[in-house]
Amino acid sequence: MALGLKNVHKMFLQGSKPPPRYIVKESKFGLVDRSPPLAPIPTINLSLLLSSSPAPDEELEKLRSALDSWGCFLMTGHGIPPSYLKKVLNATKEFFELPIEQKEKYSRRSSNDGEGYGGDIIFSEKQVLDWSNRLALKLLPEDQRRLELWPEIPDGFREILHDYPVKIKGILDLLFKIMAKLLKLEEDSFLNQFGERALLLARFNFYPPCRNPNEVLGLKPHSDKSGVTILLQDDEVEGLQISKDHEWFKVPVVPHALVVNIGDQMQIMSNGIIKSPVHRVVVNPEKLRVSVSISNEAEQDKEIGPVPELVDEKRPRLYRNVKNYGAINLECFQKGEVAIETVRI
Ligand SMILES: O=C(O)CCC(=O)C(=O)O
Ligand SMILES: [Fe+2]
């Protein structure tokens, strides 16, 4: 494992307790509570939003309210068959259950490399470490793929890496158009800001069980650095929590539904109308959990900022224009800071 850190999976298999660097301390985000109330986030049927023009008022209203209150909703009617989603989850589990040495072939190549297999990137000695392993890969633009980090095992995993993101990208593009129309903007207002060479990133998350589940987090509180993240949750084990008005709520596991999580780049572009929620992941004492997130980000050299039509006297500009927001967010996340506050005017 990079940096001589222990692998959390190995620690679980060996029955060791989490070392001090993993223990969550009291912070502005509160302590670990593994069973907060269920988040009443809506389930929205994408096919209904697309079926007729204009889309049904009831579905649009649910979307509007999800975007400005939770910044998160469950999406059905997305067109990806349940059997395919199951295949993605199974392949993810199989990859993480491989012997550690086999996975290490795909490890991050340096301590601050954002891609590959591993744990947290270390920014400071004080950083609390996450009880998880990840495999992070850039999928688009195609000429930036680092295929040496794309696992060849288990069988079919590479095929999933090629096919699944194409399906998700189609959904993302539709969502950006629907959100623009909802805010009475030109359909491509958001898509144009992300640019022709927008990034598409995959993150496969693996949370081994932990014998002290109330003392660690699988993933620290953060808001996503993306435009939008589409998350495929484990269909058996819950763990994702979302924060609203400084309280934590459990995100329900709904079979075959994908979780749509708005990221900071959409909050910036929409001048704060669409919210990017802070969320975290708790771990289970007995069961492992996996999840797969696919997210987009603006082209690295492209400046993003609030869409001009969303700035007026009543709603002054909330965020400055910013380039390469992903890097700002990543560092804040590891330090336990709220990234979007650093670009607020
Ligand atoms: O594992 C999960 O449910 C959430 C993962 C997540 O928040 C992320 O990958 O950004
Ligand atoms: Fe996230």
What is the residue type of 209? Answer: P
Q: Which residue has the tokens 């095929």?
A: 159
Gap from CA of 60 to ligand 1 centroid (Å): 26
**pLDDT score for 177:** 96
Cis ω before 213 (30° cut-off from 0) = no
DSSP per residue, 236-285: S---EEEEETTEEEEPP--TTPEEEEE-HHHHHHTTTSS----EEE---S
Task: Kindly give the residue spans of alpha helices, DSSP state H, lying in the chain.
Answer: 8-13, 46-51, 57-65, 82-96, 100-103, 157-182, 189-194, 264-269, 325-335
Query: In the predicted model, is pLDDT for residue 27 greater than 60?
Result: yes
ipTM score? 0.99
Please tell me the pTM assigned to this model: 0.95
- Percentage with pLDDT > 90 across the chain: 80
pLDDT tens digits, residue range 190-239? 999 999 999 999 999 999 999 999 999 999 999 999 999 999 999 999 99
**What is the position in ligand 1's atom list of the atom closest to the CA of 291?**
1
pLDDT tens digits, residue range 42-79? 999 999 999 877 778 889 999 999 999 999 999 999 99
**pLDDT score for 51:** 83
Average pLDDT, integer, range 298-308: 95
**What is the position in ligand 1's atom list of the atom closest to the CA of 261?**
7
Gap from CA of 171 to ligand 2 centroid (Å): 18
Q: What angle do CA 319, 323, 325 make, to 5 degrees?
A: 75
Q: What angle do CA 242, 247, 250 make, to 5 degrees?
A: 40
As a dihedral over the C-alpha atoms of residue 67, residue 187, residue 267, residue 262, rounded to 10 degrees, the angle is: 50
Pocket test of ligand 1: the residue of 250, 281, 288 to mutate, having most ligand atoms within 8 Å of its CB, is: 281
Tokens standing for residue 119: 């744990």
Pocket test of ligand 1: the residue of 250, 279, 330, 333 to mutate, having most ligand atoms within 8 Å of its CB, is: 279
Which ligand sits nearest to residue 217's alpha carbon? 1
pLDDT tens digits, residue range 141-158? 999 999 999 999 999 999
**What is the position in ligand 1's atom list of the atom closest to the CA of 239?**
3
Q: Which residues have C-beta within 8 Å of that of residue 130, sequence separation ≥ 6?
A: 22, 119, 120, 216, 217, 218, 219, 220
User: 271, 234 in Cβ contact below 8 A?
Assistant: no
Tokens standing for residue 33: 């509570």
Query: In the predicted model, is pLDDT for residue 341 greater than 50?
Result: yes
Strand partners, 19: none
**Selected residue with higher pLDDT from 301 and 74:** 74
DSSP per residue, 191-254: HHHH-TT-EEEEEEEEE---SSTTT--SEEEE--SSSEEEEEE-SS---EEEEETTEEEEPP--
Gap from CA of 255 to ligand 2 centroid (Å): 20
- Percentage with pLDDT > 70 across the chain: 98
Strand partners, 290: 206
CA distances from 158 to 84, 148, 152, 164 (A): 14, 11, 6, 10
Q: What is the pLDDT confidence band of residue 279, given thresholds at 50, 70 and 90?
A: very high
Residue nearest to atom 10 of ligand 1 (CA): 224
DSSP helix/strand/coil, 19: coil
**pLDDT score for 212:** 92
Pocket test of ligand 1: the residue of 88, 205, 259, 332 to mutate, having most ligand atoms within 8 Å of its CB, is: 205
**What is the position in ligand 1's atom list of the atom closest to the CA of 259?**
3
Residue nearest to atom 9 of ligand 1 (CA): 293
Gap from CA of 190 to ligand 2 centroid (Å): 20
Pocket test of ligand 1: the residue of 293, 329, 332, 333 to mutate, having most ligand atoms within 8 Å of its CB, is: 293
Which ligand sits nearest to residue 294's alpha carbon? 1
Give the residues surrounding ligand 1 with Cβ less than 6 Å away: 203, 205, 219, 224, 229, 231, 233, 239-240, 279, 281, 291, 293
**How far apart are alpha carbons 261 and 242 in whole angstroms?**
10
Query: In the predicted model, is pLDDT for residue 26 greater than 80?
Result: no
Name the average pLDDT for the chain.
93
